[in-house]
């Protein structure tokens, strides 16, 4: 457990990119940016935070997620459920890009 942020450091989800060098840091920011577009569609924000993500709900409440699976669970808890595989969201994101 990280004494600073309280996140678990020993379990890794397949979406986790450890921050070990500049290239890994850029990859994590790209992942957060792509997932952030899905989050914005549901009304919350996502930002990289340490080895995980910071999830900010509509009311400003913030929680930390260690991986993308936890991001979706936190979105449900923060009142902004999102299905990352929803066809309408994916179609809209494709049109925007």
Domain range for 53 is 30-96
Helix (H, G, I), strand (E, B) or coil at 47: strand
pLDDT in tens, 22-47: 777 787 788 888 888 888 878 889 99
**How many domains is the chain partitioned into structurally?**
1
Domain assignment of residue 17, yes or no: no
Domain assignment of residue 41, yes or no: yes
Six-digit token string for 4: 């600073």
> Between 27 and 16, where is the model more confident?
27
Backbone angles phi, psi at 53, to 5 degrees: -140, 150
**Confidence band of 63 (pLDDT split at 50, 70, 90):** very high
Domain assignment of residue 4, yes or no: no
**Confidence band of 20 (pLDDT split at 50, 70, 90):** low
**Confidence band of 95 (pLDDT split at 50, 70, 90):** confident
Domain assignment of residue 46, yes or no: yes
Domain assignment of residue 3, yes or no: no
Domain assignment of residue 22, yes or no: no
* pLDDT for 40: 86
Specify the residue for token string 């913030």: 62
């Amino acid at each position: 457990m990280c004494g600073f942020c309280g996140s678990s450091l020993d379990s890794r989800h397949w979406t986790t990119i450890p921050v070990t060098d500049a290239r890994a840091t850029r990859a994590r920011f790209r992942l957060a940016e792509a997932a952030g577009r899905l989050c914005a569609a549901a009304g919350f924000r996502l930002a990289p935070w340490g080895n995980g993500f910071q999830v900010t709900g509509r009311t400003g409440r913030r929680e930390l997620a260690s991986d993308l699976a936890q991001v979706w669970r936190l979105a449900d808890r923060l009142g902004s459920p999102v299905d990352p595989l929803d066809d309408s969201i994916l179609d809209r994101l494709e049109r925007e890009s």
